[in-house]
Amino acid sequence: MAAMHEVDFRVFGDDMQYVEVELDPGEAAVAEAGAMMYMDEAIEMHTIFGDGSEQKGGGFFSKIASAGKRVLTGESLFTTVYTNQGQGKKRVAFGAPYPGKIIPVHLKDVGGELHAQKDSFLAAAKGVTLGIVLQKKLGAGFFGGEGFMLQRLQGDGLAFLHAGGTIHERTLAAGEVLKVDTGCVVAFQPSVDFDIQYVGKLKTALFAGEGMFFATLRGPGRIWLQSLPLSRLASRIVAASGVGGRREEGGVLGGLGNLLDGDS
């Protein structure tokens, strides 16, 4: 595994945040393509296949495999590496893609691995490995909102996630269960059991607007939740614009609702 780069950082803003990463000479950070906001002149950037964790030690096929894993989780084939090639400390900043919060996580503090929803990764110290983890349970794969694949972040470095709205971080005790809207799950430690449960009543499933299933998270381990999933924000924008009719998130009677309230 590649050596982790220790970086300092500051998060700015409230609802539309960005993170400024400070790099010593020779240090590097890796980020999603298009995430950069600004950088000092001495910082050089180059785009690579995958996450850059195997660029020195791995061969061609390992690089292809790294990039392929990112495609399976809905990410781009490429990431961008920002390296301080100058003298003294230099800075590069990465902006959040939509309203929400940036979550800094030291992977060494969570056992060296974290499972996260697709599209939540923003940036990391170079050396953090980005991969995929398959949902072993059919219910979680079909109805969990994120499909069969989640992002797997591994290493002992610093990673930055982004999620919508306000973030709720919580540590579940062994055997403690929390029921969560499927879209509100951001990340959790591998020790947390993630599953999907039917709401139990057909009337509730059809008319409550929360869908037919919710996620169950069983401890022990740390979890991160978001108050405003991007899917919920997008559906409200579409509904307000009048394009495509109304679609309440998770509900199955959006078309019927249009008829009931007179929307065409």
Q: Residue 238 has what pLDDT?
A: 82
Nearest 5°: the CA angle 194, 188, 104 is 165
How many residues in the chain? 264
- CA–CA distance, 130 with 154 (Å, rounded to integer): 7
Check if the beta carbon of residue 101 is closer than 8 Å to that of residue 142. Answer: no
| More confident site: 134 or 223 | 223
Among 83-87, 145-149, 248-252, name the one with the lowest average pLDDT. Answer: 248-252
Burial of 241 (0-12, 13-18, 19+ CB in 10 A): exposed
Check if the beta carbon of residue 192 is closer than 8 Å to that of residue 172. Answer: yes
Q: Residue 6 has what pLDDT?
A: 72
Q: Residue 76 has what pLDDT?
A: 56
CATH code for the domain defined by 8-163: 3.60.160.10
- CA–CA distance, 220 with 236 (Å, rounded to integer): 34
- Over pLDDT 70: what percentage of the chain? 68
Summarised one tens digit per residue, pLDDT across range 85-95 is 999 999 999 99
Check if the beta carbon of residue 172 is closer than 8 Å to that of residue 220. Answer: yes
| More confident site: 128 or 202 | 128
Among 30-34, 237-241, 259-263, name the one with the lowest average pLDDT. Answer: 259-263
Q: Where are the domains of the chain?
A: 8-163
Across residues 86-114, what is the average pLDDT? 95
Q: Residue 246 has what pLDDT?
A: 47
Across residues 113-125, what is the average pLDDT? 91
